[in-house]
């Protein structure tokens, strides 16, 4: 019987890539999600019955335990970028991570991979960064041999970063950003999955900060994205004090409507996070220690951002035609 891994949040952006790679390794994969009917696509990652989505609420002990039965390893990919309803930073990233690690110990599971984030800091003003650090501490309390992965901004076909701003660039001549000079080290989603699989297989140990081969400011990243989608826009930096006021208004609107109107723009917590660089520390272990050569953005972004070009998939054809006429 092949080994079994339970991946919490296994249908999410990062989790689905880990699930696919674990299936290729021959493992049975149990994808624990809140809405299994929306995660049926993960079944295609393996042979019939190899990858299965199952219902799980990480805010509930019995729910977490039920999907862990018989597992040889667990991976926690669950996280939130903004709080909605009961899915607060504390409930998901701190208490939720603690629950998974504690129950894994009760089940005798010693192989665990926990996906955190660069910038995790117990003393951070950001609740996101603070709870990420609390989650790491809770995991290591019950799973001292766990592998902790701290990626920078993750990019790939399903990302909420480049896709979001490329979508915004289709409208208007200005592309507003907060923290234009903040530095990032974007990492390809499948590279993060490679690191997670190494952790599950026992080929990695400890804490790793994962960043891509290039470090760029927010403004420079938007310039690269605009080049890929072939649009000319003014990247306008919104000062932090203005961003705080805007975020307060958006947060209050969500609160007053009891979540019916969600803050899909920017939250006060995100403004706090954007004040800090999101890059691998000089003394941190990373891809080099794992023997992984991270993929460059320029080789991946055109593969999925083409749909934001003025003529979409036909943009390259039109350029070729123009070149023929001019030659």
Q: What share of the chain is helix, strand, coil (3-state, %, to 5)?
A: 45, 15, 40
pLDDT in tens, 97-130: 999 999 999 999 999 999 999 999 999 999 999 9
CA distance 278 to 215: 9
Q: What is the largest CA-CA distance in the chain?
A: 71
pLDDT score of 79: 94
Q: Is the pLDDT of residue 327 over 90?
A: no
Q: What is the mean pLDDT of residues 69-89?
A: 93
pLDDT score of 171: 92
Please give the CATH topology (third level) of the domain spanning 4-154+186-211+279-294: Rossmann fold (3.40.50)
pLDDT score of 259: 79
pTM over 0.85: yes
Q: What is the mean pLDDT of residues 118-144?
A: 96
Name the pairing type of β-strands 112-115 and 147-151: parallel
- Compute φ and ψ for 79, nearest 5 degrees: -165, 160
Cβ burial of 222 (10 Å; 0-12, 13-18, 19+) is buried
pLDDT score of 258: 79
Q: Is the pLDDT of residue 321 over 70?
A: no
pLDDT score of 231: 96
* 8 Å CB contact between 216 and 179: no
* 8 Å CB contact between 244 and 270: no
pLDDT in tens, 180-210: 999 999 999 999 999 999 999 999 999 999 9
CB atoms < 10 A from the CB of 323, how many?
Answer: 9
Provide the token pair at 225. 């994205």
Q: Is 307 helix (H, G, I), strand (E, B) or coil?
A: helix
Q: What is the mean pLDDT of residues 289-308?
A: 96
pLDDT in tens, 219-253: 999 999 999 999 999 999 999 999 999 999 999 99
CB environment 127-149: b (16+ within 10 A), e (fewer): bbbbbbbbbbebbbebbeebbbb
DSSP one-letter string for 242-267: HHHHHHHHHHHHHHHTTTSS---S--
pLDDT score of 255: 86
Domain residue extents for the chain: 4-154+186-211+279-294
Q: Is the pLDDT of residue 324 over 90?
A: no
């Amino acid at each position: 019987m092949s080994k079994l891994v339970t991946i919490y949040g296994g249908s999410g952006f990062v989790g689905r890539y880990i699930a696919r790679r674990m299936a290729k390794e021959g493992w049975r994969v149990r994808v624990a999600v809140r809405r299994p009917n929306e995660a049926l696509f993960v079944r295609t990652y393996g042979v019939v019955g190899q990858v299965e989505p199952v219902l799980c609420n990480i805010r509930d002990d019995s729910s977490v335990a039920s999907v862990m039965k018989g597992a040889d390893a667990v991976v926690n990919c669950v996280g939130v970028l903004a709080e909605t309803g009961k899915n607060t930073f504390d409930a998901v990233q701190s208490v939720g991570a603690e629950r998974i690690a504690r129950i894994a110990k009760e089940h005798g599971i010693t192989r665990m991979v926990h996906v955190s984030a660069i910038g995790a800091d117990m003393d951070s003003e950001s609740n996101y960064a603070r709870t990420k650090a609390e989650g790491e501490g809770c995991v290591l309390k019950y799973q001292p041999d766990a592998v902790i992965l701290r990626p920078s901004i993750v990019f790939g076909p399903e990302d909420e970063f480049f896709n979001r701003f490329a979508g915004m660039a289709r409208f208007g001549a200005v592309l507003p950003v907060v923290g234009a000079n903040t530095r990032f080290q974007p990492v390809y989603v499948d590279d993060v999955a490679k690191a997670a699989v190494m952790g599950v297989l026992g080929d990695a140990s400890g804490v790793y900060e994962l960043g891509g081969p290039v470090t760029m400011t927010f403004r420079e990243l938007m310039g690269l994205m605009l080049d890929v989608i072939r649009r000319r826009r003014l990247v306008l930096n919104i000062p932090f004090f203005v961003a705080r006021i805007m975020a307060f208004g958006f947060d209050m609107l969500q609160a007053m409507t009891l979540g019916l109107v969600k803050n899909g723009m920017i939250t006060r917590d995100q403004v706090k996070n954007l004040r800090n660089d999101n890059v691998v520390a000089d003394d941190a272990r990373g891809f080099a220690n794992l023997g992984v050569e991270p993929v460059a953005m320029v080789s991946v972004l055109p593969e999925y951002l083409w749909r934001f070009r003025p003529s979409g998939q036909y943009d390259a054809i039109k350029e070729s035609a123009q070149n023929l006429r001019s030659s």
